[in-house]
């Protein structure tokens, strides 16, 4: 309206709004692409969803009726459009097998996975980052070799095997930790009837209820699978930390800092770490997202009712709404973590602001 | 080895103790609670009128009762359930059940003849998967209000034509005929679902236990009812935990964190043998392994070729090695434990007899056939053993491997040569298997009678069809039994099927657990008889 130069506040607001808009658009496109991919895969695989509902005994008439009811006679694009339309409204469909809303089912399994993945990532970061720094600051020494070998083992040993051996040793032989499942039998009953469940995450719920013996029992059950998954992510995090840190330590500003007589811990943990953090956040977010998908093998061995086994079971039962719903949730988690790491970037790296 | 490093152990233990509950160290199940581990992810619904999977029926057996029941301690024997007496009228189609007085549902409501009649009507009106067990007697949503009636303390059920009374009673012992508390169930009706949604997470029955909590793929908790009409169950709570992995179940059992492990592999079972704290209980299951030869392929319709195949399978070799503890040799379509089930096993591996029969058949050797088989370790092992022994007599087998649904689709479309399959009974009466293995009303491609296994493999059962129809209408139980024996013998020697194995089941229990019945071929566990 006027030819005054726009003042800074609206322009910043505009930038933020535009950035947010772009990100929402990217998010929408990503999720739509994800839906399209999974939907197509679901239609291409030679699985008959009708047979999985009616079972082996059904007559041809029952079979045809269910096929019609599922809308499987509609053209493919129409089936997809209906699915996307419902998903936008928060309706991920109804599980073919149990006829329960997929979202309800997922909200039951996701907290178990979230609890496990979060603890595992905390362990992975708390051990992995210092180990990587240790290895980077003493390259070629025994410490470096140990970190590398331990990391390699975490990389290369099958989780299935590690889990069973872990159970056999720490639960079976030594009795240091609780067994498979999220609680002991007696606590499981208590959990069901005397604890107010706020989040579905037992550690948090028992803490909020102030039931510390049960908290401790839950901790004894989660520590082994979380430690195991934490070990695997630690392997990845420590290797990446080492390589990022080595790179930073070769920079001139580090030499300058050292020449100035700055204490070594400050050089490493304050100056170098600041720059290491930027790529490291991506690494940690990726590894966290990977764990949030749910680890089928770990969940199976530890009888952990998580998202991974939910999606896998759904696949085996040809329950495509459940598979698609699970995939969308996993995809959304990925996107959300991506956005979170973007925000963290800006906090630690002024150039990205 | 790790345990020998005392010092290290102490340090690590101390460190762990700081954060770990001492409870983990004294793992034992509570004295009044039975903790069971099983794979229960097959459950679709626990509404008794919809449940048709092993784990769901297993659970409902403890929550509900039927008018007549099977004695858990004596497989196959009919005992009173909610009815104290029952009879069939002269006309052969009118069944009357007199209700036992003084029984209440878990809600406190008294059990009436009205509840029983309305429950059975509900099965037919809901028309879920297992409803056919009742609708096969000519009950439809339209006529059921007239066919099933109540008056005072009696329930009357009419059938469309005379059937063997044992057939009707056996079907009424199936889970689908459980009596539910109709007042409570209908009070929870939503959108005309007759309480179906509500019964997926609640129970409303007369069983020894009441459902306290049910989490799909996770487990359930049931609690004993005080003052139950059968007498109080010694075990107050049963906690079922979904533990899919056999090795994990074994560990839990060895540590005493569970009382019963129901899904252990033969390797795990072998591993606990000799452990004084654990005992293994053998039982049979209802599943039958069989081969079906497609009669559309002329060579496979040749009786001598079929005979040769019966002699060219190493039944015992397989059950002694790769199927050890899981399957036993069984060569009849009725599983052991069923009325009239044949236990004789005349066929064994005899390559000479097989070769002689093939020579008589006149087919050109080598004969090329494929076996359609599911991509699953056990099935592949069996198929490969058969491939090997068939090969030795001049039948070259290629394996046509697919996932469960692909294999089933092929079989239902009659596109297989030979297929390796299992079949389990739908209800505890011989007709369930006899009707599918030995009946085929119309062998033409259309209409697709996929419900009959004989149709799927394009086999015309000839006189067996009529004999099976006669057996299901035979009023005399002894005669009926003899009829099934004859049908099975003829079927075994002349049909397009080769019956091979019956499921064996091994449950591992803590040594202090007694009185657990897995239910034999009817697959329904009873917890109210357990003590520990």
- pLDDT tens digit string along A162-217? 898 999 999 988 989 988 989 888 888 888 778 888 888 999 999 999 899 999 99
Q: With DSSP H G I counted as helix, E B as strand and the rest as coil, what are the percentages for chain B, rounded to 5?
A: 35, 20, 40
Give me the count of residues in chain A: 353
| CATH numbers and ranges of domains, chain B | 27-41+207-277+511-532 (3.40.190.10), 65-199 (3.90.76.10), 284-504 (3.10.105.10)
Cβ within 8 Å of residue B33, ≥6 positions away:
A185, A186, A189, B235, B236, B237, B238, B239
Distance between CA A15 and CA B500 in Å, rounded? 74
Helix (H, G, I), strand (E, B) or coil at B166: helix
- Using the Cβ of B248 and the Cβ atoms of chain A, whether some distance falls under 8 Å is answered with yes
pLDDT tens readout for residues B268-313: 898 898 899 999 998 888 899 999 999 999 999 999 999 999 999 9
CA neighbor of A57 nearest in space, from B412, B104, B42: B412
From A290's Cα to the closest Cα of chain B, the distance in A is: 23
Q: Would you state the pLDDT for residue A324?
A: 81
Query: Which residue out of B33, B176, B216 would a mutagenesis test of the A interface target, given it has the greatest number of A Cβ atoms within 10 Å?
Result: B216
Query: How far are the Cα atoms of A41, A73, A86, A87, A343 from residue A81, in angstroms, in the given order?
Result: 16, 14, 9, 10, 33
pLDDT tens readout for residues A88-102: 787 887 887 777 888
User: Could you tell me how many CB contacts below 8 A there are between chain A and chain B?
Assistant: 159
Q: Would you state the pLDDT for residue B8?
A: 43
Query: How far are the Cα atoms of A29, A37, A282, A293 from residue A286, in angstroms, in the given order?
Result: 20, 21, 6, 11
In the numeric block, the tokens 């949604």 are attached to B197
Cα angle at B53 between B530 and B260, to 5 degrees? 30
Sign of the CA dihedral with B481 first, then B483, B485, and B487 last:
negative
- Using the Cβ of B23 and the Cβ atoms of chain A, whether some distance falls under 8 Å is answered with yes
Helix (H, G, I), strand (E, B) or coil at B329: strand
In SS3 terms, B57-96 reads as: HHHHHHHCECCEEECCCCCCCEEECCEEEEEECCCCCEEE
Q: A39-57 burial by CB neighbour count: b if 16+ within 10 A, else e?
A: beebeeeebbbbbbbbebe
pLDDT of A6 strictly over 60? no
Distance between CA A128 and CA A242 in Å, rounded? 9
Q: Would you state the pLDDT for residue B26?
A: 43
Q: Would you state the pLDDT for residue A46?
A: 63
Q: Would you state the pLDDT for residue B523?
A: 66
ipTM of this complex prediction, to 2 decimal places: 0.77
Query: Which residue out of B39, B215, B217 would a mutagenesis test of the A interface target, given it has the greatest number of A Cβ atoms within 10 Å?
Result: B217
Q: Would you state the pLDDT for residue B351?
A: 96
- Using the Cβ of B275 and the Cβ atoms of chain A, whether some distance falls under 8 Å is answered with no
Kind plus residue range of the DSSP H or E element containing A233 = helix A212-249
From A217's Cα to the closest Cα of chain B, the distance in A is: 5
**Among partner residues B255, B408, B409, which is closest to A179 by beta-carbon distance?**
B255
Quickly count: other Cβ atoms within 10 Å of residue B296's Cβ: 16
Cβ within 8 Å of residue B245, ≥6 positions away:
A180, A300, A301, A303
**Among partner residues A54, A184, A303, which is closest to B27 by beta-carbon distance?**
A184
pLDDT tens readout for residues A300-346: 889 898 888 888 888 877 787 888 888 888 888 888 888 888 878 77
Q: Say whether the peptide bond before residue B447 is cis (omega within 30 degrees of 0).
A: yes
What are the residue ranges in chain B where pLDDT is below 50? Answer: 1-27
pLDDT of A2 strictly over 60? no
From B293's Cα to the closest Cα of chain A, the distance in A is: 18
Query: How far are the Cα atoms of B269, B392, B501 from residue B420, in angstroms, in the given order?
Result: 26, 19, 12
Q: Which chain B residues touch A185 with a CB distance below 8 Å?
A: 29-30, 33, 35, 239, 241, 257-258
Secondary structure (DSSP) of B402-428: E-HHHHHHHHHTT--SEEEEEE--SSS
Q: Would you state the pLDDT for residue B10?
A: 42
Chain-chain contact of A303 with B23 (C-beta, under 8 angstroms): no
CA neighbor of A310 nearest in space, from A192, A299, A301: A299
Helix (H, G, I), strand (E, B) or coil at A1: coil
Q: Would you state the pLDDT for residue B74?
A: 74
Distance between CA B157 and CA A266 in Å, rounded? 88
Q: Which chain B residues touch A172 with a CB distance below 8 Å?
A: 251, 254-255
Distance between CA B41 and CA B304 in Å, rounded? 44
CB < 8 Å from A in window 110-139 of B: 129, 132
CA neighbor of A205 nearest in space, from A219, A185, A225: A219
Q: Would you state the pLDDT for residue A242?
A: 93
For helices B477-494 and B431-438, give the axis angle rounded to 10 degrees: 30
- Using the Cβ of A189 and the Cβ atoms of chain B, whether some distance falls under 8 Å is answered with yes
Query: How far are the Cα atoms of B223, B310, B315, B399 from residue A45, in angstroms, in the given order?
Result: 43, 36, 36, 21
pLDDT tens readout for residues A122-147: 999 999 999 999 999 888 899 999 99
- Using the Cβ of A67 and the Cβ atoms of chain B, whether some distance falls under 8 Å is answered with no
Q: Would you state the pLDDT for residue A8?
A: 53
Helix (H, G, I), strand (E, B) or coil at B283: strand
pTM of the model: 0.81
Q: Would you state the pLDDT for residue A77?
A: 85
Is residue B229 within 8 A of residue B103, CB to CB? The reply is yes
**Among partner residues A47, A175, A180, which is closest to B25 by beta-carbon distance?**
A175
- Using the Cβ of B5 and the Cβ atoms of chain A, whether some distance falls under 8 Å is answered with no
Chain-chain contact of A313 with B19 (C-beta, under 8 angstroms): no
Chain-chain contact of A305 with B218 (C-beta, under 8 angstroms): yes
| Chain A residue with the nearest C-alpha to that of B453 | A57
Helix (H, G, I), strand (E, B) or coil at B506: strand
* B242: β partners: B38
From A102's Cα to the closest Cα of chain B, the distance in A is: 13
pLDDT of A56 strictly over 80? no
């Amino acid at each position: 309206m006027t030819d005054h130069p726009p003042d800074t506040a609206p322009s910043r607001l505009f930038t933020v709004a535009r950035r947010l808009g772009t990100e929402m658009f990217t998010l929408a496109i990503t999720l739509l692409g994800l839906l399209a991919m999974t939907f197509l895969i679901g239609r291409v695989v030679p699985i008959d969803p009708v047979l999985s509902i009616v079972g082996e005994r059904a007559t041809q008439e029952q079979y045809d009726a269910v096929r019609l009811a599922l809308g499987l006679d509609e053209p493919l694009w129409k089936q997809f459009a209906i699915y996307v339309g419902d998903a936008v409204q928060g309706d991920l469909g109804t599980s073919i097998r149990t006829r329960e809303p997929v979202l309800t089912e997922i909200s039951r399994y996701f907290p178990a996975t979230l609890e496990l993945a979060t603890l595992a990532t905390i362990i992975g970061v708390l051990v992995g980052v210092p180990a990587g720094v240790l290895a980077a600051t003493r390259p070629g020494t025994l410490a470096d070799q140990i970190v590398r070998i331990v990391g390699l083992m975490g990389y290369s040993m099958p989780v299935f095997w590690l889990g069973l051996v872990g159970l056999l040793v720490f639960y079976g032989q030594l009795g240091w930790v609780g067994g498979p499942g999220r609680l002991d039998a007696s606590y499981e009953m208590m959990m069901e009837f005397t604890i107010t469940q706020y989040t579905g995450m037992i550690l948090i719920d028992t803490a909020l209820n102030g039931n510390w013996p049960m908290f401790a029992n839950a901790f004894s059950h989660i520590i082994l699978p979380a430690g195991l998954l934490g070990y695997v992510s630690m392997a990845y995090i420590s290797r990446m930390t080492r390589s990022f840190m080595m790179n930073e330590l070769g920079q001139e500003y580090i030499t300058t800092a050292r020449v100035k007589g700055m204490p070594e811990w400050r050089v490493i943990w304050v100056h170098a770490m600041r720059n290491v953090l930027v790529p490291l956040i991506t690494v940690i977010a990726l590894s966290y997202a990977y764990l949030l998908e749910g680890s089928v093998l770990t969940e199976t061995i530890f009888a952990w009712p998580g998202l991974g086994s939910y999606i896998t079971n759904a696949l085996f039962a040809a329950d495509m709404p459940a598979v698609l719903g699970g995939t969308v949730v996993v995809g959304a988690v990925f996107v959300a973590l991506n956005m979170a790491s973007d925000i963290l970037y800006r906090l630690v790296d002024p150039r990205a602001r | 080895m790790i345990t020998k490093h005392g010092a290290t152990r102490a340090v690590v233990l101390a460190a762990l103790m700081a954060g770990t509950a001492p409870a983990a160290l004294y793992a034992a199940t509570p004295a009044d609670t039975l903790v069971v581990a099983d794979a229960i992810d097959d459950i679709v619904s626990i509404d008794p009128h919809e449940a048709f999977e092993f784990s769901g029926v297993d659970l409902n057996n403890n929550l509900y009762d039927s008018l007549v029941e099977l004695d858990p301690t004596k497989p196959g024997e009919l005992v009173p359930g909610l009815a104290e007496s029952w009879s069939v009228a002269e006309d052969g189609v009118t069944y009357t059940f007199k209700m036992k007085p003084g029984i209440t549902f878990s809600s406190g409501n008294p059990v009436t003849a009205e509840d029983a009649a309305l429950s059975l009507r509900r099965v037919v009106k809901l028309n879920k998967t297992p409803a056919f067990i009742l609708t096969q007697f000519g009950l439809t949503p339209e006529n059921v209000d007239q066919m099933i009636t109540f008056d005072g303390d009696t329930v009357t059920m009419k059938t469309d034509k005379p059937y063997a009374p044992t057939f009707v009673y056996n079907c009424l012992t199936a889970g689908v005929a459980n009596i539910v508390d109709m007042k409570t169930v209908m009070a929870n009706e939503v959108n005309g679902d007759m309480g179906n949604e509500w019964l997926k997470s609640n129970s409303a029955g007369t069983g020894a236990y009441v459902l306290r909590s049910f989490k799909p793929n996770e487990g359930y908790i049931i609690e004993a009812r005080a003052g139950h009409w059968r007498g109080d169950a010694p075990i107050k709570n049963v906690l079922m935990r979904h533990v899919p992995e056999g090795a994990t179940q074994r560990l839990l059992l060895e540590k005493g964190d569970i009382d019963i492990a129901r899904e252990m592999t033969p390797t795990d079972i072998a591993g606990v043998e000799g452990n004084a704290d654990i005992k293994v209980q053998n039982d049979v299951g209802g599943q039958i392994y069989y081969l079906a030869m497609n009669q559309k392929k002329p060579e496979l319709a040749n009786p001598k070729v079929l005979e040769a195949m019966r002699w060219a399978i190493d039944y015992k070799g397989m059950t002694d090695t790769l199927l050890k503890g899981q399957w036993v040799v069984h060569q009849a379509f009725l599983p052991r434990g069923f009325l009239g089930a044949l236990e004789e096993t005349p066929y064994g591996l005899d390559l000479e007899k097989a070769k002689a029969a093939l020579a008589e058949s006149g087919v050109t050797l080598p004969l090329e056939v494929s076996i359609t088989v599911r991509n699953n370790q056990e099935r592949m092992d069996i198929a490969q053993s058969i491939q090997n022994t068939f090969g030795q007599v001049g039948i070259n087998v290629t394996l046509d491997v697919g996932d469960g649904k692909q294999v089933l689709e092929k079989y239902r479309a009659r596109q297989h040569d030979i297929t390796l399959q299992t079949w389990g009974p739908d209800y505890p009466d011989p007709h369930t298997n006899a009707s599918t293995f030995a009946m085929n009303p119309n062998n033409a491609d259309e209409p697709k009678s996929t419900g009959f296994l004989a149709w799927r493999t394009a086999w015309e059962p000839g006189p067996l069809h009529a004999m099976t129809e006669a057996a299901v209408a035979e009023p005399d139980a002894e005669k009926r039994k003899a009829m099934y024996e004859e049908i099975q013998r003829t079927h075994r020697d002349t049909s397009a099927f080769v019956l091979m194995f019956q499921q064996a089941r091994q449950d591992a229990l803590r040594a202090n657990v007694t009185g657990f019945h897995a239910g034999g071929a009817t697959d329904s566990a009873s917890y109210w008889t357990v003590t520990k």
